[in-house]
Amino acid sequence: MLEAIAKNNNNAVNNKKTGMSLLIIILLITLISAVGVLIYLQLKNNSNIANNAINANSDLIQRNTEDKPERPVLGGQGSVLTEENYEKVLEELNTPSPDKQYRVNMSSKFEFETWDTPSSTAFVRNREENSRTVCIDLYLTDEDGELTELVYSSPYIPLGETLRNFALDSEVPAGQHKVMVVFTLVDDDFNKVTTLSVGTTLLIEN
C-alpha cells in the first residue's frame, strides 16, 4: 500500500515537472516568435523608407554625369557693359522675360540625421508659375560666401514637381554649415538658360 502511494506521488511529481518543462518550452517559442516578428517588421519598415525615398522623386528626371557642374557662376547670367553693346544690353534688360524671374520654394534649412540618410524635411519645389525645368547643386561655402565643395546635385525638377527624401552625395561632418543652393534653369533640351543662388543652412545631426 505504501509503495503504491509512493509511486503515485512520484508520478505526480514527474507529471508536474513535465508540465513545467512544456510551459517553459511554449514560453520560449512564443518569445522567439515575437522577436522574429519584431525583426521582420523593422526590416520591412526600413525597406519602406528606402522605397519611399526613391518613389518620392519618381517624377524627376535624372541628370547625366556631364550635366553636373564643377563650379557654377553665381548670380545668374551677366553682361559686361561696353560702348559697343550699351544699347543692346539696355534693350535686353528692358525686354520682359520669364527667365529673369524665378519663384524659389524650398525648406528654410536643410536638415539631415546623417549626411547619407534621406532628409524627412528638406524639399525643393519647382512651382507651377515658373517657366522652366530646374535642378539644384548644393555647395558648402566659407566665411566669405565662396563655394568650397559640391555636396549634392539633384535630378531635373519639372514644373509642379517637388524634390524630397534625398541624401547628400558627399560626406559632411556633423554640425551646422553655411551652404549655397545654386538653381540652374534649363530649356527643353536640358541646356542651361540661367542660374540663381540662395544661401541657407545645412544641419547634420550626427
Provide the pLDDT for residue 5: 45
Provide the pLDDT for residue 19: 59
Confidence (pTM): 0.62
Strands of the sheet with 123-126, listed across from one edge: 104-106, 123-126, 162-164
Q: If DSSP codes are grouped into helix, strand and coil, which group holds residue 163?
A: strand
Confidence at 2, pLDDT banded by 50, 70, 90: very low
In this predicted structure, the answer to whether residue 117 has a pLDDT above a threshold of 80 is: yes
In this predicted structure, the answer to whether residue 32 has a pLDDT above a threshold of 60 is: yes
* Phi/psi at 50 (5° precision): -65, -45
Provide the pLDDT for residue 83: 56
Q: What is the DSSP letter of 145?
A: S
| pLDDT 10s digits, 52-110 | 444 556 667 787 756 555 433 333 333 444 556 656 655 655 565 666 678 889 998 99
| pLDDT 10s digits, 186-202 | 998 889 898 888 889 99
We find that the CATH architecture of domain 63-204 is Sandwich (2.60)
CB of 133 within 8 A of CB of 159? yes
Provide the pLDDT for residue 79: 40
Question: What residue ranges do the domains of the chain occupy?
Answer: 1-55, 63-204
Provide the pLDDT for residue 163: 94
| pLDDT 10s digits, 76-87 | 333 444 556 656
- Cα–Cα distances (Å) from 159 to 14, 55, 100, 148, in that order, read 77, 18, 16, 30
In this predicted structure, the answer to whether residue 10 has a pLDDT above a threshold of 70 is: no
- Pick the closest to residue 69 from 167, 143, 180, 172 (CA basis): 180
Q: What is the mean pLDDT of the chain?
A: 75
